[in-house]
Amino acid sequence: MTNTHNTAPTQFVKANDVKYAYRWFGTTSGTPVVFLQHFRGGLDNWDPKVTDGLAKDRPVILFNNAGVASSGGEPSNTVSGMAKHVITFVNALGLTQIDLLGFSLGGFVAQEVALQSPDLSRRIILGGTGPQGGEGMASLKPKAAEHATQETPVLENFLYLFFAPSETSQAAGRAFWDRRHGRADQDVSSSMAAMGAQADAIAGWGVVPETDRYGQLKKIKQPVLVVNGHDDIMVPSINSFILQQHIPNATLIIYPDSGHGAIFQYPDLFVSHARLFLEK
């Protein structure tokens, strides 16, 4: 491996008039795992312990959807539209098979990619996420919404939204915050316009379908690993159980004393679990 999370250059690929930003590092062989980011997040909202941990034995590709952070183009206001951008981007890189790691909103998008292009993804990891029209996903509670929509999100907002109130979880949150700022040339912030489009997409995804509530999940045929924290205040943890129950080949892992950002609280353990899943 020549590059790492902190040294891989930000690259761009143009397709359908959109200039997509990405970083590609890790091994040269193996199925690349494409990371799909959360609400408002860019290339530097991942945990280097997770990305470098997985990059030890596979290529890792971090990706900004259209209009998000350093990517060009218009931000999509639907999960379906975001999934189309992922597929366009992967095709533009000349890849025919990938693994997906979708976190939060990125997990919604990963499910849609699996539905729109069933053979593109070999395996899928869904973190801190839920099915379309899941439990308690129609809107955030007011305090969570306030933390989630600050013009310039700070540590305090992430500690509230991504970690449990316990001392141990909050300390893990601060350690994550330090790690994720270790790279010198941080990605630019996502615009308020992108935030608005993403909020619309999340609201649309949260609507409970009138019939066959979780029926789409049966169509996701590849192995899926669902992971979350004990009490996710952004996408309630019961939705991880629901995903496991409705996706035909899904494994569930829920971590203790943690919230939405559990994979950043237990990065080493999560990487061990993810590698077992990706390699088995």
Q: Which chain residues interact with a copy of itself by CB under 8 A? A: 223, 230, 237-238, 241, 244-245, 248-257, 269, 272-273, 276, 280
Cβ proximity to a copy of itself, 139 vs 272, nearer residue = 272
Asked if residue 15 lies in contact with residue 159, where contact means CB atoms within 8 angstroms, the answer is no
Residue 175: other Cβ atoms inside 10 A: 15
Q: How far is the CB of 239 from a copy of itself (least distance, A)?
A: 11
Among 201, 12, 28, CA closest to 108: 201
Cβ proximity to a copy of itself, 27 vs 249, nearer residue = 249
Q: How far is the CB of 137 from a copy of itself (least distance, A)?
A: 17
Strand 121-127 with 98-103, pairing: parallel
**Cβ partners under 8 Å of residue 125, min gap 6:** 33, 99, 100, 101, 102, 110, 224, 225, 227, 274, 277, 278
What is the distance of C-alpha 100 from the center of its chain? 9
Cβ proximity to a copy of itself, 45 vs 244, nearer residue = 244
Cβ proximity to a copy of itself, 44 vs 257, nearer residue = 257
Packing angle, helices 105-116 and 79-92, rounded to 10:
70
The one-letter amino acid at 211: T
Q: How far is the CB of 250 from a copy of itself (least distance, A)?
A: 5
Cβ proximity to a copy of itself, 198 vs 228, nearer residue = 228
Cβ proximity to a copy of itself, 204 vs 256, nearer residue = 256
Q: 165-172 — which CB contacts under 8 Å span 24+ positions?
A: 166/257, 168/257, 169/257, 169/258, 169/259, 169/265, 172/258, 172/264, 172/265, 172/266
Q: How far is the CB of 54 from a copy of itself (least distance, A)?
A: 16
- State whether residue 273 is helix, strand or coil: helix
Q: How far is the CB of 140 from a copy of itself (least distance, A)?
A: 21
| Alpha carbons 25 and 4: distance in angstroms, whole number | 6
Cβ proximity to a copy of itself, 136 vs 256, nearer residue = 256
Q: How far is the CB of 164 from a copy of itself (least distance, A)?
A: 11
Q: How far is the CB of 248 from a copy of itself (least distance, A)?
A: 7
